[in-house]
Amino acid sequence: MATTKKKSSTSKKKTSSQMNVSKAIHRASNKKTSPLMSLLLIVVVVVFVIWYQQNQAEPTYGAGQNAEGYYYYQNLSTGYYAPAHLLTGEELQNALNEITNDGLTLQRYSDAKTVLAEADLSLTDRTKVYNVYNGLLVNATWDSTSWHREHVWPNSRLGMERVEESGRNQASDLHNLRAITPAVNSSRSDRFYDDATGGPQTVTGGGYYPGDDHKGDVARILFYMATTYDFLILTDDGLEDESNHYTLAGAKMGKLSLLLEWHREDPVDDFEKQRNEVIFQAQGNRNPFIDQPAYAHLIWENKTIDQLIEPETVSYFKPSNILLAMIIERSIVHERFL
């Protein structure tokens, strides 16, 4: 019984303290606020929310997609892609051309042996590189047999002679180079890309299918090349003609219509993001179609920005918006009692 009484006494003390706190809160909440002060408070909070939202770190990658596979547009008004803000079509591609060429320091073709050994590292085994097309993992250190350097946009279709080891040009651009199994490199040759399913394979008519797991990567590399080097053309037509290889007339690649499909079907992944970061450090520019995949829709598919805006389903739960709603609601409640 003594124990029971002691607990009862403690319980009464807690109840009394809680009641005092409740009374204090009640008295504070009943203090009248002038309409001017309420309005001023709302204005201050609105200004704060606008400042807060504009100064948040903006996303680097915009890989979210809608049900049809189109990537959502990221509204980047500052940072690396600021000059491309709200642009579409040819204006957007021209802006990206300036962005990717600004600060670009092309490395020697021979330097790819060391850069790709880091850029193409497997995400699961950091001692090996992840070879394009067949996905084979081989020793990362260059030994001239485990892997070769693949031109995703073939050297013969780059509008120039065969690249030399000391060359610094579009054929040495690291974004266009991938580690590749030598035997696969031979079968791919300088074929344009064409459709199939499954693993990498040659296609009737002279094309090459890069494989289900690599087709999106290939598409985004070609988008980069056609944007950074404005004399390179993506098309569906005339790709079978090999008579003009190693000339500007033959600086064409595709098929563009398939690349756009593959871009949607095989989304940006962490491996591509890793490559983008390593190459950015090595040659000073980024692949915009890895960072902001929606750019491809705006340039080659005549999409508008409004069509690519992600529905605002979670924005109301941002801390700044919750704070604003609470302040406004409390001010309204106070006004009713004035």
Q: Is the pTM of this model over 0.95?
A: no
| Domain definitions of the chain by residue range | 88-308
Q: C-alpha distances in angstroms, 188 versus 17, 55, 150, 248?
A: 80, 47, 9, 22
One digit per residue, the tens of pLDDT, for the chain of length 338 reads: 443 333 344 444 444 545 554 554 455 445 555 667 667 767 766 666 555 444 444 445 566 999 999 999 998 888 999 999 999 999 999 999 999 999 999 999 999 999 999 999 999 999 999 999 999 999 999 999 999 999 999 999 999 999 999 999 999 999 999 999 999 999 999 999 999 999 999 999 999 999 999 999 999 999 999 999 999 999 999 999 999 999 999 999 999 999 999 999 999 999 999 999 999 999 999 999 999 999 999 999 999 999 999 997 544 444 545 555 555 555 544 554 44
